[in-house]
Homo-oligomer: A and B are copies of this chain.
Amino acid sequence: MDTDDELRWETTDSAVDYTCPGFDVRRDEVTLPDGTETDYHYVDEPHAVVVLPFTPDGDVVVIEEWRQAVGRVNRGLPAGSVEADDADFAAAARRELREETGYEADTVSHLFSAEPTNGIANSVHHHFVAQGCTPTAETDLDFNESIRVETVDYDAILAAALDSAEPRSASNRTQSDDGGLRDGRAMLALTQYELRHGVDPEP
């Protein structure tokens, strides 16, 4: 039918093989293009939103929180899974911004969507830009969330996203080891925003 047919796998069965509070692991039974029958396991989780929030002055609202998977405090952007009560992805973005930072936005607009690790997970991150963000609400955190909220200069956080330092071993690293960001979601949001909208008006 199209040229993708030579690469396509057929799925003959699919079931959740493992579940934990953050995600499931799904096991599919598949037939490869050459007829081989095998299985494939991947992380199954809801779609998520990532928010790049600007204050009226053009600063960026960032968060710092403990990330157990990498054993350090992570500087990043408000983000979280879409929930059943969210009317749409934009509503989820407004909710996550409010819950994690206490800021509310004048406007939110879709910037892009990406699959961060589609080799092992069905995760999809929908990135939004929030403009006119001001601290108007109380944060509303999950029981195991401890978050520090800061506003930072846009050019400084973009420079941090372009800092190429290689992560050290997990045992001795904290975000304060260096100025660079390591959070891929935040790095992608900032570089995408800069290439789409970040043209310096006064060269």
Contact = CB atoms under 8 A, between A and B. Distances in A.
A67 B17 CA distance: 19
Nearest to A174: B4
Nearest to A175: B4
Grouping DSSP codes into helix (H, G, I), strand (E, B) and loop, the A interface class, with mixed when no group exceeds half, is mixed
Which one of A2, A17, A41 has the highest number of Cβ atoms from chain B below 10 Å of its Cβ?
Answer: A41
Given A2-B176, A69-B122, A124-B167, A182 B43 contact: no
B120 A7 contact: no
Interface string A1-45: 011101111010000011011110101101011101010111101
A164 B194 contact: no
A113 to B, nearest CB: 5
Contact of A118 (B112, B120, B183, B188): B183
A115 interface: yes
Contact of A188 (B8, B111, B164, B188): B188
A33 to B, nearest CB: 5
Interface string A97-122: 00000000000001111111111111
B22 A41 contact: yes
A70 interface: yes
A36 B144 CA distance: 8
Contacts of A2: 174, 176
